[in-house]
């Protein structure tokens, strides 16, 4: 899939402008596979020679059978603001980014306190019955348990005082209330979270997720869900990339969880630890 997307991008953006042949449409001598053919009358070049002897070089241009499809250019969001990343299909998907939500000194001491004092552990998830360890550490706060990827984080109402303070300030900034928190610790650049949407039934329709980042910067990527006719092929979908730095608050709302997926991919250069706090609301009746 990655390879397909790369080939499509090379064709779409880097290829030379398409030359339209004038005159009658050339016929493909040996079926649709031959896009550029060399004249059959031209003999092979002499060994070591750099030019063809014995006749002019001639090429026949064959239009590709299907029009070349452009891969949309990935959008980058780096500045604070409100971004409507799509108007549908389910409704508006909206991101609010605040890069300096926490002053640097507060972000610094909160990061080191949470890194040292939260009960971090590695969760085991299940895919088609097979167990795998999440490539990051987590802990959960909330009156209710939280289930995703076929395993459950147990209820935990012992909020760390730093987390209670942060919850109150994010609630007063956003005008939303949150009863739960999933904390993620990416120990280094090899830790990650795979493509997913926060769309568990217990989060209710159109959940609002407030995500606070502390520590090293990591790239938060979003990709749009493909329309049904693409049968799960993400090659041509819209993409957004947001570097989430120390003290940045990102709020996802509207239809973001219906129409988009997000991830934090592994990186192959050195990254220090990063904590991400995702405040959510869990509905007991769902
Ligand atoms: O680490 C992040 O920024 C994203 C975390 C996330 O996607 C999640 O907890 O669902």
- Token pair of 43, please? 């003999």
Assess contact for 180 and 141: CB atoms under 8 A: yes
Assess contact for 143 and 157: CB atoms under 8 A: yes
- The β-bridge relationship of strands 93-98 and 81-86 is antiparallel
What is the pLDDT averaged over residues 230-234?
95
Ligand 1 midpoint to CA 211 (Å): 7
Ligand 1 midpoint to CA 193 (Å): 7
- Residue 276 CA, closest ligand 1 atom number: 1
Ligand 1 midpoint to CA 278 (Å): 7
Q: Which residues approach ligand 1 with their CB closer than 6 A?
A: 182, 184, 193, 198, 211, 220, 244, 262, 264, 276, 278
Lowest mean pLDDT among 53-67, 184-198, 249-263: 53-67
Residue 32: partners with Cβ closer than 8 Å, 6 or more residues away: 62, 65
Query: Which one is predicted more confidently, 38 or 208?
Result: 208
Integer angstrom CA distances of residue 123 from 127, 137, 151, 217, 229: 13, 7, 8, 23, 35
Query: Which one is predicted more confidently, 40 or 159?
Result: 159
**What is the tens place of the pLDDT at every residue in 109-150?**
999 999 999 999 998 888 888 888 999 999 999 998 888 888
Domain 75-280 has CATH 3.50.50.60: no
φ/ψ region of 201 (left if φ > 0, alpha if ψ in -120 to 50, else beta) reads alpha
Percent of the chain with pLDDT over 90: 66
Tell me: pLDDT of 209 over 50. yes
For residue 60, count other CB atoms closer than 10 A to its CB: 15
CA distance 138 to 182: 7
Ligand 1 midpoint to CA 31 (Å): 50
Percent of the chain with pLDDT over 70: 80
Ligand 1 midpoint to CA 58 (Å): 56
- Residue 274 CA, closest ligand 1 atom number: 1
Question: Residue of the nearest CA to atom 9 in ligand 1?
Answer: 278
Tell me: pLDDT of 13 over 80. no
Question: Residue of the nearest CA to atom 7 in ligand 1?
Answer: 263
Q: For the chain, where do the domains classified as CATH 2.60.120.590 start and end?
A: 75-280
């Amino acid at each position: 899939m990655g390879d397909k997307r790369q080939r499509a991008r090379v064709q779409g953006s880097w290829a030379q402008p398409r030359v339209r042949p004038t005159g009658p449409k050339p016929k493909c001598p040996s079926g649709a596979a031959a896009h550029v053919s060399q004249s059959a009358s031209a003999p092979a070049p002499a060994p070591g020679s750099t030019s063809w002897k014995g006749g002019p070089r001639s090429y026949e241009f064959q239009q590709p059978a299907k029009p070349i499809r452009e891969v949309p250019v990935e959008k980058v969001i780096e500045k604070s603001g409100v971004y409507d990343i799509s108007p549908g299909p389910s409704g508006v998907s909206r991101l609010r980014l605040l890069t300096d939500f926490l002053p640097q000194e507060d972000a610094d001491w909160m990061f080191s306190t949470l890194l040292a004092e939260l009960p971090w552990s590695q969760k085991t998830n299940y895919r088609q019955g097979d167990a795998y360890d999440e490539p990051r550490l987590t802990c959960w706060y909330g009156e209710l348990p939280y289930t995703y990827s076929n395993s459950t984080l147990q209820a935990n109402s012992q909020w760390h005082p730093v987390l209670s303070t942060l919850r109150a300030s994010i609630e007063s900034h956003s005008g939303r209330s949150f009863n739960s928190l999933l904390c993620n610790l990416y120990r280094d650049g090899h830790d990650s979270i795979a493509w997913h949407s926060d769309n568990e039934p217990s989060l209710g329709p159109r959940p609002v997720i407030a995500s606070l980042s502390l520590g090293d910067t990591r790239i938060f990527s979003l990709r749009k869900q493909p329309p049904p006719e693409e049968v799960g092929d993400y090659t041509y979908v819209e993409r957004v990339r947001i570097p989430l730095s120390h003290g940045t608050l990102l709020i996802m709302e509207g239809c973001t969880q219906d129409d988009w997926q997000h991830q934090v991919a592994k990186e192959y250069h050195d990254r220090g630890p990063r904590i991400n706090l995702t405040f959510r609301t869990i509905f007991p009746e769902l």
